[in-house]
Amino acid sequence: MRIVRLPGIHHDANAVLLMGTKEAILIDAGTAWYQLLQQERIDGQLGLGVTLREIILTSRRYPFSGGSLAISEHFGGIPIATHPSAVSSLSTGDFFTTWANRFDSDMPVVNAVGLEIGQHVFLDNELIEILEAPGPSSCNLLIHIPSTKTIIAGALVPRADRPMRWDVPTGNLILGKESLETLLKLNAEKLIPMHGPSLQGQGHISETIQRHITMLNQIIDDQGALPRSWPKPAHTSLWHEPVPSWPRKEQESNQAEGKSRN
């Protein structure tokens, strides 16, 4: 199996093509903003000998799902599958639970089918595991490909240097930490986050995930209080730009306050 990351543009989540000898599966579709470009990128990767079989969405949220209807129709109405709890929101084109409203966009009506959690999907006899990973939302999924030790993490790992946000509809801090612990146990050698480049090497991936877990544990110890340096979600994006990495400024501020008191 060949795994091709289609880098997310602007607010699009990374899309991933799982390429077999004659068929392919698309994991996530990005927003509806760049659907024509996304279609061209997929066509270019497939060539003449490979057919796109289906689309699997790791989340109902617009950065993952917004372009799925257009891509499905472009390839002859191929099926779209996702977490069962996401089906209702997608089938009604819900403006709020998909977060399309935060991008000032309409959400296409997507008639997706619900995946069975723990379901095994096969491509050229290679296993693709569908794992539930709540935290960033109730419908978040992990895609695990054991033969290549690859994981598509979706919103559970927004980026290597950007911790998971749970302070959103259906988000859950405790479940998010538990999902990261599940991810850690899979010992991936390649991890594709929501945004940015893939993480390579088991040691680097484990260290990064552990850093995310440590961050969430600190927030749990603080009874869920958000770091003051984290921006609040804006109406037309996930949160204000530019997006900071780890909340170093607050840590430095706290240290400076401690010194001044001494």
**For 98-126, what is each residue's pLDDT tens digit?**
989 888 899 999 999 999 887 889 999 99
More confident residue, 165 or 59: 59
Neighbours of 238 (CB within 10 A): 22
Tell how strand 199-200 and strand 150-154 pair up: unpaired
The DSSP secondary-structure symbol of 66 reads: T
How is residue 34 written in tokens? 């760049």
Is the pLDDT at 11 greater than 50, yes or no?
yes
Quickly state the pLDDT bin for 237 (edges 50, 70, 90): very low
Backbone angles phi, psi at 243, to 5 degrees: -85, 120
Quickly state the pLDDT bin for 230 (edges 50, 70, 90): confident
Kindly state the helix (H) or strand (E) to which residue 123 belongs, with its residue range.
strand 120-123
Q: Residue 242 has what pLDDT?
A: 43
| CATH code assigned to 2-261 | 3.60.15.10
pTM of the model: 0.88
The residue-averaged pLDDT of 26-34 equals 95
How is residue 1 written in tokens? 């199996």
Instruction: Locate all alpha helices (DSSP H) within 92-195, ordered by sequence.
Output: 173-185
Strands of the sheet with 120-123, listed across from one edge: 120-123, 126-132, 141-145, 150-154, 190-193, 199-200
Is the pLDDT at 14 greater than 90, yes or no?
yes
pLDDT-above-70 percentage for the chain: 88
Give me the residue spans of the domains in the chain.
2-261
Kindly state the helix (H) or strand (E) to which residue 154 belongs, with its residue range.
strand 150-154
Half-sphere CA count of 109, side-chain side, radius 13 A: 2
Which residue type, as a one-letter code, is found at position 182?
T
Whether residue 90 contacts residue 139, with contact meaning beta carbons closer than 8 Å, is answered with no
Is the pLDDT at 44 greater than 60, yes or no?
yes
Q: Please write the tens of the pLDDT for every residue from 176-210.
A: 999 999 999 999 999 999 999 999 999 999 999 99
The mean predicted confidence, pLDDT, of the chain is 89
Which residue type, as a one-letter code, is found at position 50?
V
The DSSP secondary-structure symbol of 61 reads: S
